[in-house]
Structure 1
Amino acid sequence: MEKSNLNTTNPNHYIYETKHLKISILGGIRFNNLEALRVTLGIQKLKSEQVLRQNIDLYNDTSIEKLTRKVAERLEIGTTIVRRDLDQLTNELETYRLQEVEQQGKLYEKQVKVLTEKEVRAAQAFLKADNLINRTQELIGQSGVIGEETNRLLMYLIFTSRKTNNPLHCISLGSSGAGKTHLQSKVAELIPEEDKIEMTVLSANAFYYFNRTELQNKLILIEDLDGAESVLYPLRELQSKKKITKTLVHKDQKGVTKTIHLTVEGPVSVSGCTTQESIYEDNSNRSFLLYIDESELQDEKIMLYQRAISAGQINHEEEHQARELLKNAQRLLKVITVRNPFAMHLTLPQSVFKPRRTNAHYLQFIEAITFYKQYQKFHHIDKETGEEYIETSIEDIQEANELIKEVLLRKSDSLTGACRNHLENLKDYLKKQNQTQFTNSEIRRNLRVKETTLRRYNNQLLLENYIKKVQNKTTKSYAYEITNPDEYQDLKAMIDKALQDCMVQIQLANEPTTNHSKVARSKPTKSIS
């Protein structure tokens, strides 16, 4: 066999030489479509200026035959030589491409960290410690996440649910510059690199070209949902059905048209940020809505932290250690079934909108807390199925209720988050001023709200009957008045009472009896060495 040489020094101009021909591959080759090998060739005899240029798929045998005859005729060379050289070129390019694809895969592959014995012991001790949820809250704060105590813990537990069979999802909502993306990225730093995929902009078919199981139990982070509008539908399907399928028409090497199916499997946990709550309603229905704290107190916390960084008063090593401990704890969590023996006693407040989905979210969040505390649970074995599982405790439900109150409150509110925040600020202002009525100019001046924004808020509040127009009898001018200043507190009280009633029902109910016919044995969590 004649010695051949493929020179790929210039990525846009490969050179392939044999004893008889010099072949240039103009523009190189594509690495993202292994089903075809489409190239632009420049073919010439050695020491000849005459060049034949042709665009061709080297995997198309019919096209190769035509090109062979064309080259042989144009360059006055035998067809056997031309066909042999083209076959050798195809083999060389194919080998080179496979090597490059494999190399690129290694470069982009996120290596799974192997924990040392010391790291395993530290993570296990953390997961087995009492008050795990409170200790997690403290560590999140030590890792550099400032304020947002409820949101950050909710987000961390939602991210943890990626390892369960029914992951949760969240959307961070707030005005521009409020810190939505910052909170998401800081909490995401507490998740192992191999378990998350961060995205900024996605094309319409982006999700369909992942490997079949590449997204399984992964956390997908989208910086801004505005940059992912084209994939919102497949994203919703991936959240709901846990897999997506795309059907394509493809021609094989012989030119025969076939239908192929691209399937990508979940489940996945999805987190995104946006300022436009109403636009992404379909996605919001599948997610926990986390409203960013835009209070002056939170502003002061952040600015104080920024000053401390500038003054060199932040211990970055301590922050790093906190992050690593939480990431290592995540690595030790194993997939296991969670059963909630108290589920039949858990009911949602009647005020909650879309109760079917919200009820599922509520139960899944309780399961996420139980899953996170798996090192503190007995592992039961179902005798009939052989399935290993852990059970939810009353303490898990109490912790879930404390964290989810704000979520249920927002799910029960007919106003958007931004409009609700404005209304509560408005109530506080009127209370401080000891007045019941207000005008647009007064609110724009004192609460620093843009005219167009204020008009939008007023329209929604009037439509929902939260405010009403009143006329001054003396000046005949119009002002606004809040119809019920206590409505939000009443809604909070209703939700608190509903959750408390659930706990009372659980306490009054008989202790769940173990079904000895189904449960073979119980065992504590095994240590991971």
Structure 2
Amino acid sequence: MERKSEEVRFLVDNRFWRFRGLLKNMSYETLKVNAMVKKGDKYYLDTLDLCQARQRGNFIKQAAAELEENEEILKTELGKMLLKLEEFQDEQIKQALEPKKKEVLMSEKEKKQAMELLKAPDLLERILRDFEKCGVVGEQTNKLVGYLAAVSRKLDNPLAILIQSSSAAGKTWLMEAVLSFVPEEEKIKYSAMTGQSLFYMGETNIKHKILAIVEEEGAERTRYALKLLQSEGELSIASTGKDPISGQLTTKEYRVEGPVMIFS
């Protein structure tokens, strides 16, 4: 057996088998593929659901006639290959269900250092000193407000920040300064977003994270969705599309879970 992207190949005696479209099968009830069997200059090609005995039987009958081969031989070969293809399908379904990113855990040493900082009587002064060490001077109040809002992402009702500046550079400077203190896995930043894009972020886990939108116009286009996400703590939308297996129109629900700290 040889696997190349969406294609799986088998060579049995003097017969070459090829199966395509396996990555579209994300349900154990179906295994719809484009199958080809070739012998010399003769071949047979068709699309079928390998989970359907009738479709397998028709494929074997037609292939045997085209290749001038014994039906029982092709039936035995296809049966063995079906077991291999089911293993491949099981593997890809399990991979799809696995979390996209592993949770980042703090070491005991990091936890101890974090608690020492949290309990420090001069906590706010230390935060400002750290900003200055990073080359960010001035704007004391705005830096503290931005930092505390960023930390609030872990709360049930996180704060939201809207920066208004006479220059785009000033806004970007403050946002970048605050975000530099946030771990990479805890923030999602876009230059802009379209009006509907936020509704389709279900695969991107934004719960208790920072959603930063740099451009003011980019945030304006998605204002309604941001408002709902901030007030309701979640978003949901129903959209119509084609079922990849049946080809029929179906309605699918998309859901995005909050809460999220919005930074714009």
TM-score tier after normalising by the smaller chain length: 0.7 to 0.9
**Partner of 2:162: helix, strand, or coil?**
strand
Partner residue, 1:11: 5
Partner residue, 2:107: 115
1: distance between equivalents of 2:259 and 2:161?
15
Q: 1:222 to 1:112 in 2, by over 3 A?
A: same
Cα RMSD of the aligned pairs, angstroms, is 4.1
Q: 1:17 to 1:189 in 2, by over 3 A?
A: farther
Q: Residues 79-94 of structure 1 correspond to what in structure 2 (within 5 A)?
A: 80-81=75-76, 84=79, 87-88=82-83, 90-94=85-89
CA deviations over 1:198-231 (Å, ceiling 9, x no partner)? 334657456435259x332121223335456765
Q: Which residue identity lines up with residue 186 of structure 1 in the other structure? A: A
**Partner of 2:132: helix, strand, or coil?**
helix
Partner residue, 2:131: 140
Partner residue, 1:24: 18
Pick one of 140, 144, 148 that aligns with 1:149.
140
Partner residue, 1:485: none
Partner residue, 2:234: 243
Q: 1:12 to 1:255 in 2, by over 3 A?
A: closer
**Partner of 2:169: helix, strand, or coil?**
coil
Partner residue, 2:37: 44
2: distance between equivalents of 1:232 and 1:57?
45
What TM-score results when the alignment is normalised by the length of structure 1? 0.40
Partner residue, 1:166: 157
1:268 CA displacement: 0.8
1:243 CA displacement: 1.1
Q: Which runs of 5+ in 1 are unaligned?
A: 273-529
2: distance between equivalents of 1:208 and 1:156?
28
Partner residue, 2:90: 95
Q: 1:20 to 1:233 in 2, by over 3 A?
A: farther
Is contact 1:219–1:269 with CA below 8 Å preserved after alignment?
yes
1:158 CA displacement: 1.2
Is contact 1:219–1:268 with CA below 8 Å preserved after alignment?
yes
1:115 CA displacement: 2.6
2: distance between equivalents of 1:176 and 1:85?
67
**Partner of 1:172: helix, strand, or coil?**
coil
Q: How many percent of aligned residue pairs carry the same amino acid?
A: 26
1: distance between equivalents of 2:48 and 2:94?
22
Q: 1:238 to 1:17 in 2, by over 3 A?
A: farther
CA deviations over 1:125-155 (Å, ceiling 9, x no partner)? 2211224323322222223334332222211
CA deviations over 1:279-317 (Å, ceiling 9, x no partner)? xxxxxxxxxxxxxxxxxxxxxxxxxxxxxxxxxxxxxxx
Q: Which residue identity lines up with residue 106 of structure 2 in the other structure? A: V
Q: Which residue identity lines up with residue 94 of structure 1 in the other structure? A: Q
2: distance between equivalents of 1:136 and 1:209?
32
Pick one of 196, 208, 214 that aligns with 2:200.
208
Q: Residues 69-468 of structure 1 correspond to what in structure 2 (within 5 A)?
A: 70-77=62-69, 78=71, 80-81=75-76, 84=79, 87-88=82-83, 90-98=85-93, 101=96, 109-117=101-109, 119-174=110-165, 177-200=168-191, 204-205=196-197, 207-211=199-203, 214-224=205-215, 226-227=217-218, 231-248=222-239, 251=243, 260-272=252-264
Is contact 1:38–1:55 with CA below 8 Å preserved after alignment?
no
Is contact 1:246–1:262 with CA below 8 Å preserved after alignment?
yes
1:23 CA displacement: 2.9
2: distance between equivalents of 1:63 and 1:24?
17
1:91 CA displacement: 0.7
2: distance between equivalents of 1:160 and 1:74?
68
**Partner of 1:210: helix, strand, or coil?**
coil
Is contact 2:6–2:23 with CA below 8 Å preserved after alignment?
no
Is contact 1:23–1:41 with CA below 8 Å preserved after alignment?
no
2: distance between equivalents of 1:156 and 1:80?
66
Q: 1:39 to 1:252 in 2, by over 3 A?
A: closer
2: distance between equivalents of 1:221 and 1:179?
15
1: distance between equivalents of 2:198 and 2:13?
44
1:242 CA displacement: 0.8
**Partner of 1:178: helix, strand, or coil?**
helix
**Partner of 1:173: helix, strand, or coil?**
coil
1: distance between equivalents of 2:18 and 2:192?
36
1:240 CA displacement: 1.8
